[in-house]
Amino acid sequence: MQQLKDQKAVLQEVWKKRPLIISGPCSAETEEQVLETATRLANTGKVDMLRAGIWKPRTRPGSFEGIGTKGLPWLLQAKKITGLPTAVEVATAKQVEDALHFDVDVLWIGARTTVNPFSVQEIADALKGVDVPVLIKNPINPDLELWTGAVERVAKAGINQIGLIHRGFSSYGNTEYRNAPMWHLAIEMKRRNPDMLFINDPSHICGRRDILLDVAQEAINLDFDGLIIESHIDPDKAWSDAKQQVTPERLAEMLDQIIWRREDIPSEELHAALEKFRQQINQLDDELMLLLSQRMKVAEKIGQYKKDNNITILQTKRWNEILERACKKGDKMGLSKEFVTKYLDAVHMESINHQNKVFHG
């Protein structure tokens, strides 16, 4: 009983630690692999929690689908040896029950499960009356409502320690990343849940080792609370996600290379300097809004002219001209083509809406 109490106390400390670093293999494979990974991770002194997949929902059949319940005692043993709390992915009520039976400290809901409200509800029902922290990965598709829905289901089950894991979103024909980070969605989710633990998963975003550090740094720059990074004693021979895993020692090196940032600003002086820049930004934003509203007034005049002369609102040739002209100009001014296109797209849609109002007026 005393031991159980200590475990809970350790976990509470770990949950509050910033940055919170979770690592371990994509999958538990053998007892030796789990114990050696855990020991080497603990030896780095930089890891707070051990992760390992026991049940692996795979996109296609035929790949390793997890060692199953048999691997849970290995994790318990790893915890006994290293003192690291453990985290496991669960996708069904039975898995929740088994994981808790073997004293897993933190459960996480994987991206392929978050997409399915039935599965999430099944997990939530199994969690009723249980005191265990739950991490919820974003769904594989870029849908914040699904992610939020999963959070709500788990919260309604009475779980009060909930964390979020941003692991990127799948999109057809991904190139650089295995799962596109779509940072803007992570930022919006953080805005909606300012007090919730928010962790980044560079491993599943990157799908490869060489860009892990860049993504991890980007997450820290964006004020994430921690990282979950897969590690393996022999990454190339891993039974799942071999390309993205690193050795515990390489992980420690990466963690040393990251520039850790924090949201609060340390000195008065820095605060004053930043405040000055922020005022400039506010001023410029006000001017941009004013210009945009003037632009819409001109669009309304054009709308009236088109209406009076029976001309369509959309003039594709003119639209292409605007885009081309702006991209060329933007390039000279240090604005990326991607940004200029997105910005003009939004302006154009707003302009069409204003013209539509004139047409229906």
Kindly tell me which of 137 and 354 has the beta carbon lying closer to ligand PEP: 137
**Binding-site partner at residue 167 among ligand PEP, Mn ion, none, CB < 5 to 8 Å by type:** ligand PEP
d(CA 337, CA 324): 10
d(CA 6, CA 220): 30
d(CA 97, CA 103): 10
Which range touches ligand PEP (CB under 6 A), out of 110-118, 121-129, 187-195, 289-297? 110-118
Tell me the site size for Mn ion, rule CB under 5 A.
2
Residue in 258, 134, 143, 262 with CA at minimum distance from that of residue 202? 258
Q: Count CA atoms closer than 13 A to 184's CA, side-chain side.
A: 2
Place of tokens 């990157």: 206
d(CA 261, CA 275): 18
What are the b/e assignments for 38-69, b being 16+ CB within 10 Å? Answer: bebbbebebbbbbbbbbbbeeeeeeeeebbeb
Residue in 174, 263, 215 with CA at minimum distance from that of residue 229? 215
> 331: which residues sit within 8 A by CB, 6+ positions away?
337
Kindly tell me which of 53 and 248 has the beta carbon lying closer to ligand PEP: 53
**Binding-site partner at residue 153 among Mn ion, ligand PEP, none, CB < 5 to 8 Å by type:** none
Binding mask 50-89 toward ligand PEP (x if CB under 6 A, else -) reads ---x------------------------------------
Which range touches Mn ion (CB under 5 A), out of 22-30, 90-98, 205-213, 289-297? 22-30
Establish if 241 lies at the interface with Mn ion (CB under 5 A).
Answer: yes
Kindly tell me which of 26 and 227 has the beta carbon lying closer to ligand PEP: 26
Binding mask 159-198 toward ligand PEP (x if CB under 6 A, else -) reads --------x-------------------------------
**Binding-site partner at residue 79 among Mn ion, ligand PEP, none, CB < 5 to 8 Å by type:** none
Residue 35 gets which letter from DSSP?
H
Residue pair 181/224 in contact (Cβ under 8 Å)? The answer is: no
Would you say how long the chain is, in residues? Answer: 361
Measured at the CA of 42, the angle between CA 200 and CA 232, to 5 degrees, comes to 65
Residue pair 126/100 in contact (Cβ under 8 Å)? The answer is: no
**Binding-site partner at residue 232 among Mn ion, ligand PEP, none, CB < 5 to 8 Å by type:** none
d(CA 14, CA 48): 6
**Taken in order 251, 254, 256, 262, is the CA torsion positive or negative?**
negative
Establish if 11 lies at the interface with ligand PEP (CB under 6 A).
Answer: no
Which range touches Mn ion (CB under 5 A), out of 19-27, 72-80, 104-112, 119-127? 19-27
Q: How far is the CB of 230 from Mn ion (least distance, A)?
A: 6
Q: How far is the CB of 91 from Mn ion (least distance, A)?
A: 14
- Out of 137, 153, 166, 209, point to the residue binding ligand PEP (CB under 6 A): 137
Which range touches Mn ion (CB under 5 A), out of 25-33, 151-159, 174-182, 253-261? 25-33
**Binding-site partner at residue 137 among Mn ion, ligand PEP, none, CB < 5 to 8 Å by type:** ligand PEP
Query: Bridge partners of 164?
Result: 136, 198
- Out of 26, 34, 52, 206, point to the residue binding Mn ion (CB under 5 A): 26
Residue pair 112/59 in contact (Cβ under 8 Å)? The answer is: yes
Which range touches ligand PEP (CB under 6 A), out of 28-36, 91-99, 104-112, 342-350? 104-112
Kindly tell me which of 153 and 204 has the beta carbon lying closer to ligand PEP: 204
Establish if 139 lies at the interface with ligand PEP (CB under 6 A).
Answer: no
Q: Report the interface residues with ligand PEP, using CB under 6 A.
A: 26, 53, 110-112, 137, 167, 204
